[in-house]
Structure 1
């Protein structure tokens, strides 16, 4: 009888070995587009459809953010060279990671992606149309590679939380994702709760996207992304009624006629894209003095002629990449201080960003993400 029991136990164990992990590891993921995708989790091999997706991967896996990344798009070193350099110094192996071109410009190599045998490919939702047009989802499905969409750019104030939960599921970091989401919500509430209580007058704000990146003026935001962040920070987004989508352009005459109380320009070190450009180089460890000089130079453009914000010095610059990662709450806090300095004199966005790094990120914090002409 004992022999029979031992044989039965052995057979059960064999079945568990053969079928248990594969069955137990399959997770049904719903991405931000509503697509249901089955993925074996936690994933071991991931392709990042954009290098800047390391912003959220690192926040959920600070001990080994690149341990599962087998390929990524080649944008981080140009779009955010200081952050890339910091990661490269700590994780020199990333220099050898296979890189991809972009989906939207048609330079993504699907055959290369298949050869890397990823468990999942993570794409930004703005690449969805190009992905579908190229037939990549069907191609990948035939070889058993799922693709999921996240979003921190098109509708970040709606999609950041579900995107972080999705990544938490993929990485087996569900609790870390919930901790991050709670920290983000608390940091935003530190602004919105005060505004709801005090109900201050809202200054009119012109939010310029990537000021100085080109000679054209002026790119801005509709009622999402930085446009929505301005509203959450207690301002009125000047371009909200002028731009129907997330991104768009307003002409110089509209800015002069609207006469905004404050101007906030997004900036970064774009030497890799526009060498010697007029962009304001804020970001990880940036030189405040140099950034302020370039910010003041932007106020000399015809679009800002005689407007109230320039006359009163209420012109500021903020790190552009807040528009494409889950750290937007830091930007909301900083803008709230610019828009309502008396209400938020005790709020410290730098301390919030330091806490984010200390709790969630593998890099040490370095200031340089904000600059203002009021600091002269």
Structure 2
């Protein structure tokens, strides 16, 4: 009798264990839902260990919200030119693992499905303006790799905050993401409140020459949106928006001279060194940056602009535009376009705060310069 009872008990226990195991394995893995910048609701693992990115500038965003921005990466595009050789060297010195990461395609080229599959991330983070096709997204999802779109470049005013929140959610950096968002918004609000009080006629004309000196042709300029949004936001009038229908394009030098803008802003960086264009940013000191700006400003046609003659000519590292730390560029624009209105705004102090409070790898070099 006892033997039978023991057998029955063992049988019941075994059945209970099997039932519990079956129930356990029947449950789906813990998951979370994210609404990406395409408006897609994407199911991602609740615990994301590794992601891939398709733009090196996303590394800077990760550095704002992670003490080690390389740790969450399964692969990156190695598009070093987008962050600059000097900046890459700084990240590599601080986080040597960056140099050993596998490579995936940059958002500037064709999406490489095989490279992402090989990297086997928990989530593939891609740029809003490019990334995989719908068919490729389906293939990645079939392989268990969700795809999430973010954006710091197409529409930074609308998309930077949700993009940082997505990266924070994926990498466990939510608190730091919210802290930086609040910091940026406080600085943005100060500018917006003052600009709102300006009269419609008190908007100086501005010519922004992107990648100044990259070629003999003049002149690369923002149109409506994108970089032009920065000029509008700080109370300027972008002359490129009056004739260009796209977000970027080329202006004739004759047109620029006929408009004779009140403020001239050039962007550049190390990528223009060989072309003899404007160089500044990481790896350049103020003297080298100012000499480069002076040379750019002495080109035929540009030298004749009233802005240049009056000393209202400025240079900005292109990597600071449409960047996760673009608040520094916004403040520089504000002080150049409305110096009296924003005399108490100090982009250098703002950058110092970002370096101390947020960036795992502080931004170094001359990010902006004036002709005088």
How far off is 1:285 after superposition? 4.8
1:92 partnered with 2:96: yes
> In structure 2, what is the Cα distance between the partners aligned to 1:100 and 1:336?
37
- Write out aligned runs for 1:32-51 (5 A): 32-51=37-56
Indicate conservation of the 8 Å contact 2:82/2:319, yes or no: no
1:54 partnered with 2:59: yes
Structure 1 259/13 Cα, relative in aligned 2: closer, same or farther at 3 Å? farther
Structure 1 8/207 Cα, relative in aligned 2: closer, same or farther at 3 Å? farther
1:260 partnered with 2:261: yes
Structure 1 365/300 Cα, relative in aligned 2: closer, same or farther at 3 Å? closer
Indicate conservation of the 8 Å contact 1:77/1:85, yes or no: no
Residue 325 of structure 2 corresponds to 327
How far off is 1:226 after superposition? 2.1
1:151 partnered with 2:151: yes
- For structure 1, which runs of at least 5 residues remain unmatched after alignment? none
Q: Deviations over 1:262-289 (max 9, x none)?
A: 111111111xxx5522222221352111
How far off is 1:101 after superposition? 3.4
Indicate conservation of the 8 Å contact 1:221/1:239, yes or no: yes
> In structure 2, what is the Cα distance between the partners aligned to 1:67 and 1:79?
18
Residue 129 of structure 2 corresponds to 126
Give the total of aligned pairs. 361
How far off is 1:172 after superposition? 2.5
Indicate conservation of the 8 Å contact 2:320/2:367, yes or no: no
Indicate conservation of the 8 Å contact 2:209/2:266, yes or no: yes
Q: Secondary structure at the match of 1:223?
A: coil
> In structure 2, what is the Cα distance between the partners aligned to 1:299 and 1:267?
13
Q: Deviations over 1:161-210 (max 9, x none)?
A: 11112212212322222221111110112222222345582211001111
Indicate conservation of the 8 Å contact 1:292/1:371, yes or no: yes
Question: Larger Rg: 1 or 2?
Answer: 2
Question: In the alignment, which of 26, 29, 32 is matched to residue 34 of structure 2?
Answer: 29
Q: Deviations over 1:221-243 (max 9, x none)?
A: 12323211111122111111222
Indicate conservation of the 8 Å contact 1:357/1:365, yes or no: yes
Residue 120 of structure 2 corresponds to 117
Residue 168 of structure 2 corresponds to 168
How far off is 1:215 after superposition? 2.4
Question: In the alignment, which of 337, 349, 373 is matched to residue 347 of structure 2?
Answer: 349
Indicate conservation of the 8 Å contact 2:125/2:147, yes or no: yes
Indicate conservation of the 8 Å contact 1:225/1:323, yes or no: no
Q: Secondary structure at the match of 1:178?
A: helix
Residue 80 of structure 2 corresponds to 76
Q: Secondary structure at the match of 1:266?
A: strand
Structure 1 65/132 Cα, relative in aligned 2: closer, same or farther at 3 Å? same
Residue 237 of structure 2 corresponds to 236
Residue 3 of structure 2 corresponds to none
How far off is 1:19 after superposition? 7.1
How far off is 1:367 after superposition? 4.4
- Write out aligned runs for 1:256-295 (5 A): 256-270=257-271, 276-295=274-293
> In structure 1, what is the Cα distance between the partners aligned to 2:312 and 2:151?
31
For normalisation by structure 1, the TM-score amounts to 0.88
Residue 357 of structure 2 corresponds to 359
Residue 302 of structure 2 corresponds to 304
> In structure 2, what is the Cα distance between the partners aligned to 1:23 and 1:202?
55
Q: Secondary structure at the match of 2:164?
A: helix
How far off is 1:28 after superposition? 1.5
- For structure 2, which runs of at least 5 residues remain unmatched after alignment? 1-8
Cα RMSD (Å) of the superposition? 2.6
For normalisation by structure 2, the TM-score amounts to 0.89
